[in-house]
Amino acid sequence: METMTRNSVGSGRHLHPAQETMPREQLAALQLERLRSSVRNAYDNVPMHRARMDAAGIAPDDIRTLADVQRLHFTVKTDLRDHYPYGMFARPLSDLVRLHASSGTTGKPTVVGYTKDDISNWADLMARSMVSAGARAGDVVHNAYGYGLFTGGLGAHYGAERLGAVVVPMSGGSTERQVALIMDFGARVLCATPSYALAIAEVAESQGVDLRQSALEVGLFGAEPWSDAIRAEVEARLGLKAVDVYGLSEIMGPGVACECECRRGLHGWEDHFLFEVIDPETGRVLPEGEAGELVITTLTKQALPMLRYRTRDITRLDSTRCDCGRTHVRILRITGRNDDMLIIRGVNVYPSQIEAVLIGRPHIAPHYQIVVERKGSLDEVSVEVEVLPGVPEDRYGAVAHDVGHHIKSMIGVTADVIVKPPGAIPRSQGKAVRVRDLRPK
Ligand code: DLL
């Protein structure tokens, strides 16, 4: 395992300055060396990768430049399901120290595994992400990501410990207790999904607790798409700086990428991952700056090397200089997943676009659900919104009209708007359910 250079942990702007500010040429050379060994690991130890490379007539030694990655096959989520549970692991179970899994809505879960070194690299990258977000050694980190098979809880936990912070392993739920402990333990850093952070704020307000007066200064929020409008809302109600953190279990977990103080995209940690953006239809790699599907190849993972994993997440890359001094590419805010795209009367719409219209409109709370139903052969979409406390019922019609009008004028689609009383939209304790798909499966 590599030894990372540390300044006194967490005291500076960068946790691993040598890696984070490495000149891009040197970073590319490091990536190539690691790519070659990662491809070799996949080829030698994972039958699926070997079979696909053999079929394409490519051997690990054919990877001579970073662009050669484009000669490799893609890996998709169903590959993990098809090789359930351990068929894509490059190490025997005896070399592993941890499994995580995501519960698929249909069929088998996807299982991911880690060696001791994988866990250590993950802790390093999550600690690096936390410092990038503004956390420091000695901080009390209140971790409200779910513990268990989900990677959020343990990922943030190990990162906080590696940083030298004091972690409160709260997990999701028991929201009133979360509020009390944030106050009593003096948490400076909050880790949660943005939707759960809002739920915490709401419960605090209902208890008459002002979290803006707490010690909270930094929020590490991720695991679901969220808009700048939600960011503003969370910042105003919790009195902290909200920073976006990204990751996925198939690649590692949280800490694959994180914003810095400039918040102009999330630095993807290129010493451990290779990022591409492709056209989801053709699979062709797109020039930097164009929006498409993010594809990630792991460079250091031992137990589960991933070659060109199609994340389904839609974004753009930007490798221009960042004022923070980090040289690693920026992954611009994920606007949604391919799978989440709705087709409303022929128009492609992401839930995040609807969210951007809703948040901040007068009289409505930042909680909503989009309901998709099948009426005859057509999909019907309605948007459920919730009024703020104190809005009288005879105003609901006017609120529905206002929201519907803005959805139409800003996105170009007509959607039914259903206005509900305060508290009627379910609150999340983890990833928010933004779309209720009632279409027959
Ligand atoms: O959500 C890992 C994570 C935990 C990331 C905590 C950040 C914080 P999965 O459950 O495998 O892993 O889900 C991964 O969640 O492909 C995205 O679609 C979505 N996602 C994660 N972070 C963000 C983000 C964790 N910052 C899937 N913005 C990913 C938008 C995100 N979407």
Does the pLDDT of residue 108 top 90, yes or no? no
Least confident of 104-113, 327-336, 374-383: 104-113
**CB distance 244 to ligand 1 below 6 Å:** yes
**CB distance 246 to ligand 1 below 6 Å:** yes
Rounded CA-CA distance 69/85 in Å is: 26
Phi first, then psi, for residue 17 (nearest 5°) are -55, -40
Q: What percent of the chain has pLDDT over 90?
A: 86
Q: How far is the CA of 208 from the centre of ligand 1 (A)?
A: 32
Does the pLDDT of residue 9 top 90, yes or no? no
**CB distance 352 to ligand 1 below 6 Å:** no
Q: At what angle do helices 151-163 and 116-133 cross, to 10 degrees?
A: 70
Q: How far is the CA of 59 from the centre of ligand 1 (A)?
A: 32
| pLDDT attached to residue 308 | 98
Mean pLDDT computed over 384-390: 96
Does the pLDDT of residue 336 top 90, yes or no? no
Does the pLDDT of residue 12 top 70, yes or no? no
Same fold, 1-338 and 341-437: no
Nearest residue to 23 via CA among 390, 270, 190, 331:
270
Does the pLDDT of residue 168 top 60, yes or no? yes
Nearest residue to 139 via CA among 191, 178, 89, 103:
191
| pLDDT attached to residue 106 | 62
Does the pLDDT of residue 381 top 90, yes or no? no
- The strand pairing partners of 266, in sequence order, are 259, 331
Does the pLDDT of residue 3 top 60, yes or no? no
Nearest residue to 210 via CA among 189, 182, 233:
182
Cis ω for the linkage preceding 85 (within 30 of 0):
yes
Using CA atoms, how far residue 214 sits from 74, 119, 209, in Å, is: 47, 32, 9
Does the pLDDT of residue 107 top 80, yes or no? no
Mean pLDDT computed over 44-61: 98
397-421, pLDDT tens digit by residue?
999 999 999 999 999 988 999 999 9
Rounded CA-CA distance 38/44 in Å is: 10
C-beta separation of 275 from 267 below 8 A: no
**CB distance 102 to ligand 1 below 6 Å:** yes
User: Which residue's C-alpha comes closest to atom 28 of ligand 1?
Assistant: 225
| pLDDT attached to residue 315 | 97
Does the pLDDT of residue 241 top 50, yes or no? yes
Does the pLDDT of residue 1 top 60, yes or no? no
Q: Which CATH superfamily is domain 341-437 in?
A: ANL, C-terminal domain (3.30.300.30)
| pLDDT attached to residue 213 | 97
| pLDDT attached to residue 105 | 59
186-198, pLDDT tens digit by residue?
999 999 999 999 9
What are the boundaries of each domain within the chain? 1-338, 341-437
Name the average pLDDT for the chain.
94
**CB distance 357 to ligand 1 below 6 Å:** no
Least confident of 23-37, 102-116, 349-363: 102-116
Does the pLDDT of residue 10 top 80, yes or no? no
Residue 240 is classified by DSSP as: S
| pLDDT attached to residue 104 | 65
**CB distance 338 to ligand 1 below 6 Å:** no
What architecture is the 1-338 domain classified under in CATH?
Answer: 3-Layer(aba) Sandwich (3.40)
C-beta separation of 246 from 7 below 8 A: no
